[in-house]
Amino acid sequence: MRGKPRFILCNCTGECPGFKDMNFWQLLNYIRNELESEYAVLHPQLCVDDGERFFEEILKPDTLYVVGACDPRMQKKMFRDAFEKAGINFDKQVIPLDLRSMTTEQALEKVKQAFAQAQAKAGAAGQG
């Protein structure tokens, strides 16, 4: 894998009650400034047409992605085609996180763990 992991956050239009206790800007700024991230971005609804167009624009093969959104199984079902179209193996190159019903602090802890996992994956890929 090349480069640092990329972080993509979907907040389900900002209306989902599952995100009511999260400060998106605090979360994204922490990721941008404190974690080894290439970037951190927010999209309001990745599972609709403009979300797919967004993926077409930004996804690159041989890259790790951490995606904070809904249930990881739903993410795989809804996003897999866009990732595969970009030459990305969802199971190997995407770390999907369910960040619903969390405070900002809880989400930060989960994201920190995911970035540690991403670093381990990148290190293993570099040795193989």
Q: For 7-42, how does the pLDDT look when each residue is reduced to its tens digit (9 = 90+)?
A: 999 998 888 888 999 999 999 999 999 998 999 999
Q: Would residue 127 count as lying in a domain?
A: no
Element (H, E) at 40: strand 39-43
**Which residue do the tokens 């209306």 mark?**
15
Q: Would residue 25 count as lying in a domain?
A: yes
Q: Would residue 101 count as lying in a domain?
A: yes
Domain that residue 59 falls in? 6-121
CA quadruple 99, 105, 108, 109: dihedral, nearest 10: -100
The pLDDT value recorded for residue 126 is 65
Number of folded domains that form the chain: 1
Q: How confident is the model at residue 59 (pLDDT cuts 50, 70, 90)?
A: very high
Chain CA centroid to CA 59, Å: 11
Q: Would residue 126 count as lying in a domain?
A: no
Q: Would residue 63 count as lying in a domain?
A: yes
3-state secondary structure of 11: coil
Q: What's the token pair of residue 110?
A: 């989960």
Closest CA to 95 of 123, 124, 125, 75: 75
Q: Would residue 40 count as lying in a domain?
A: yes
